[in-house]
Amino acid sequence: MEMRLMKMLNKGKLILLSLAIAIGCSKVPVTGRKQLDIVPNSQVLALAKSEYNEFLRTNKVVNNTSQAEEVERVGRNIANAVEVYLKREKQTKLLEGYNWQFNLVEDQQVNAWCMPGGKVVVFTGIMPIAQSEAGLATVMGHEIAHAVARHGNERMSQGLTAQLGGVALDVALSSKPNETRNLFMAAYGVGANVGILLPYSRLQESEADRIGLIFMSMAGYDPTEAINFWERMEKASQGGQPPEFLSTHPSHKTRIEELKKQLPEALKYYNQSVSKR
């Protein structure tokens, strides 16, 4: 009797999970790919705000320097481009609850990330490789693209399904707060601080490259500089441990070849932005 009851309960969980997956689908901007997204955006945004503030509190934020001003300026330009693009595509719902923040943090990691709600961190370690505003726009455009495309939500949804049995986010937070927090931080690319890292899939990386290239182009940054940036990243990773920013990414050669294919599309947006100046 007990075994039959357990089977019924497990079957019920599978049915509920299947329904959640069927209902919880969204579309990635630019590519139109359908993705799994079963985490309520309001809860994700609240968690992102909390974790972002905690990260800033426990790390050294750089203020009132030329580099900090550059991060803020490039971030605002890209954010404006994102808002224009999504308004034109009638996808402004993707930015509901966004409150853009851009911070430079003192850390030799060659890394950057963007949490939901437009919470961006750039580490000082990546600035020498960025070299210029266009190089920095490549980095920030790519990370912001991950957030706008809700790749983190997709990974969080997959993690809740695979690691925590498909429970709802609020249930996971109340029953397994530490595991859920670690899953969240890893899903949104801050995994180095919690000892785990969920790699973005090749598909997500390719999407972030393409979307980020469009965003930086609309913001007035020459997309051909993205090729130069990734070539510098390739040199930076030779003969040693690859930078954190590259640890889960496709090979340099693959990425650069794909970016070259995407340049004609990006250049159309760039030329339009230049003509409006």
Q: Do strands 112-115 and 101-105 pair parallel, antiparallel, or not at all (unpaired)? A: unpaired
Q: Find the farthest-apart pair of alpha carbons in the chain and give their distance in angstroms, rounded.
A: 75
Q: Which residue among the candidates 70, 133, 143, 205 is catalytic per the annotation?
A: 143
Extended beta strands in 73-118, E state: 101-105, 112-115
- Per DSSP, helices labelled H in 122-239 are 127-130, 133-148, 151-162, 169-175, 177-187, 202-218, 224-237
Could you tell me the strand order of the sheet in which 101-105 lies?
61-62, 101-105, 119-123, 112-115
Q: Do strands 101-105 and 119-123 pair parallel, antiparallel, or not at all (unpaired)? A: parallel
- Judge whether 143 counts as a catalytic residue: yes
Catalytic residues: 143
